[in-house]
A and B are shown apart, each in its own frame.
Chain A
């Protein structure tokens, strides 16, 4: 039982990070109907910038008060990734918006390769370690199986990750459902041309969507860095693929779907590793995606697509 609870917590933590990245995929897909393949690398950039800010603040300026350091790292990396999100849209998507559908896909993959190699060249290919910063936690339950003691512990780090994700999720849902920006985003999703005729600046709305997704990816990047303590230029690829899977599983275009999909993928991975074999955890995650899509082609919470005639 303790073992199960511990895995549940681990799964939710990992799932939160996937979910945050998945929101970026799902929002961009919702508004322009295309996948932003460079999004995983925006997440990677977010992690690197957080690390850089963290190290500069602690070693150069000698700031030791952790909340301030983390807050500044978060703000700076969100600013940078927002800029990258905007740049990706401007360079890889906007010039090709009138073009055939596959063209921006290719430019986005190009963007992804550029970002990866840019970081590899400037930061080196080796992993960057960061010693654990937030330690300790709350012991939830304790028991013994076959003479060995097993504790279920909710660490402070996990609390921060799950809590932050929850708060951001609520904030984002409110933003989309209540504010004028969210309304115009939904309007652009349904009929971009008509939204434009009603005075919505469609270009700006699409840019803002990329920026919002990228800012969330920065949050995920910082959390990933703190949780695992090692990052390299390649983390964006696998995390990106997983988050994309999460978005598709939940129903691409749906915000709660992305979060649900993220949590599910995280849980599947962790539980598979815990009870079966670690090597096959990705196989398990993708198999479940395949099975779900066979029976629910538009994902768990996605709306079936209606062809406009």
Chain B
């Protein structure tokens, strides 16, 4: 743990992202109902819950995919809750406000391209969304589009081959290669992204999100369809991202093994309502969670070793 404070709930003291009274309604369906939670700076926060609990909807609201029906979503650069800056931005109707400690961003007011570029919140998808027809390297360069556009004088300098643009492009490629090395895909930089095997595509998607230099990285089921070894590698990679780049991670995950192992903080949703919030150990023993999410603990229910073997093996099968 890099940032350890005295408070019992450190995510309340230094939240990088807060979701406040969020509601999302689709016609008659209330997918999220008055949901509030914090994501601590430098924490790995897991958002869990049974299927249809509204986890992905929360992600879609945070990253500007949906405009929430109600509520406020604040991303913060710099230490602390920065309450005055948040209030000021809310009152004045601005999308963001610079404060002494850094800056605050009201995500529900921002279009999605600003959320990734300005507020530095990046995400991946449950069903991988790479640009399949472009090369692996190009996928990572698209994520650095804005830096390159500015450096190339909005393309004019790029056509003329100005030195400043060449330098920026070199830096962009260097950053891309850095992340490719960490996901073990340098050799495949010039292959079409769509031709990579499933597990590689998952890691490439995370690498691409990291090329945005995010403050918060939102991962939608990063371990889905990975075999146990790949899933262990992924845990190490996520820890590496958090420890060396200080990126806070918010992830949706079904694999309770992964969640309990790497999460500093777990938020449990059920039917769009938060039913538990705390560190992994506290959530695990919360009777409400056991009742709603785990139901009867399925591992305990199956006592025949062969069946258990089959079940854990089945986790490695990729699904569409």
Contacts and interface: CB of A to CB of B under 8 A. Distances in A.
A35 to B, nearest CB: 21
A113 interface: no
B219 to A, nearest CB: 13
Contacts of A187: 131, 134, 142, 145
B138 interface: yes
Contacts of A198: 113, 116, 122, 142-143, 145, 208, 212
Interface in A179-199: 179-181, 183-184, 186-187, 190-191, 193-199
Contact of B113 (A175, A179, A183, A201): A201
A181 B129 contact: no
Contact of A179 (B132, B133, B158, B320): B158
Contacts of B158: 178-181
A179 B131 contact: no
B35 interface: no
Interface string B128-150: 01011110001001110110110
Nearest to A199: B117
Contacts of B133: 186, 190, 303
A179 B155 contact: yes
Residues of A contacting B: mostly: helix
A186 B134 contact: yes
B142 A184 contact: yes
A184 B112 CA distance: 15
Interface in A211-254: none
25 contacts: A175-B159, A179-B155, A179-B159, A180-B148, A180-B149, A180-B158, A181-B155, A184-B145, A186-B133, A186-B134, A186-B138, A187-B131, A190-B131, A190-B134, A191-B129, A191-B131, A194-B131, A196-B111, A197-B63, A198-B122, A198-B145, A199-B113, A199-B116, A200-B113, A200-B142
Contacts of A145: none
Nearest 9 interchain pairs by C-beta: A180-B148, A199-B117, A179-B158, A181-B155, A199-B116, A187-B142, A190-B131, A194-B129, A198-B143
B120 to A, nearest CB: 10
Contacts of B63: 197
Interface residues of A, number: 25
B65 interface: yes
Contacts of A309: 320
B77 interface: no
Interface in A146-178: 171, 174-175, 178
Nearest to B149: A180
B152 interface: yes
B123 interface: yes
A303 B144 CA distance: 27
B193 to A, nearest CB: 10
Interface string B92-133: 000000000000000000011101110000110100010111
Interface of B: 63-65, 111-113, 115-117, 122-123, 125, 129, 131-134, 138, 141-143, 145-146, 148-149, 152, 154-155, 158-159, 169, 208, 212, 320
Contacts of B154: 181
A253 to B, nearest CB: 11
A108 interface: no
Given A183-B138, A194-B129, A199 B145 contact: yes
B134 A180 contact: no
A68 B116 CA distance: 46
Contacts of B141: 180, 183
Contacts of B64: 197
Contacts of B113: 196-202
Contacts of B146: 199-200
B41 to A, nearest CB: 22
Contacts of B123: 197
B159 A180 contact: no
Nearest to A174: B159
Interface string A290-309: 00000000000001000001
A150 B125 CA distance: 67
A186 B130 CA distance: 12
A180 B145 contact: yes
B58 to A, nearest CB: 15
Name the residue in B123, B142, B212 with the highest tally of chain A Cβ atoms < 10 Å from its Cβ: B142
Name the residue in A171, A186, A187, A202 with the highest tally of chain B Cβ atoms < 10 Å from its Cβ: A187
Contacts of A179: 152, 155, 158-159
A180 B143 CA distance: 10
